[in-house]
Amino acid sequence: MSKIDDIIGRMEALEKELAEEFERVGAEVRYTIERKKVRFTEDVKQQHKLLATKWSVYVRESGFIRTLSMPIIWGAVIPALFMDICITFYQFICFPIYGIPKVRRSDYIVIDRHALSYLNWMEKLSCVYCGYFNGLLGFVREVAARTEQYWCPIRHARTPKAVHSRYRFFLEYGDAEGYRARLEAIRRQFDDLRGHGKG
């Protein structure tokens, strides 16, 4: 096992530990998840309703300038929807041709904060937008990562600040012999995604 594999193994263990800690903290707030739906205890629901802010107060407290910026934020939803359609269509058609496992959108796009009763309707709508947009970017990045692994699995000479999930399988920059010898094997190296509920 290389040092890179060892570091990645430790990172994956830490990510799992972090997810478990998020779940533990969630249990302290007294909610459970049943069939992908969040359920709060009755006393928590009542407390949440008391903490809700009227939308008119929310707008007033947000300030004039921030309120004026809303159309700019919401304007991005049109290209986001177009990108979503294009990427979904692309992977639906091309991934089976390349032998790449498809990315499940539901693993990345999580929309559940609108069910929180301490949010007013404007906050809920904003939370739906943010959940969709950030989830979409994660989904697109994973589709792009798998595509890059197939077509150009070479690391950069200068490592990017954030590397995607498939970067660890890439060949070293400048390794011409390795590229020619191992390209086809790397193009098929998706075993970690098959049969493990990942995707």
pLDDT tens-digit readout, 128-143:
999 999 999 999 999 9
Residues in the chain: 199
Angle between helices 121-151 and 55-62 (to 10 degrees): 70
| pTM confidence score | 0.79
pLDDT tens-digit readout, 1-15:
578 778 877 877 887
Per-residue confidence (pLDDT) for residue 197, from 0 to 100: 44
Per DSSP, the three-state class of 197 is coil
What is d(CA 112, CA 74) in angstroms, rounded to the nearest whole number?
19
Q: Supply the mean pLDDT for the chain.
A: 85
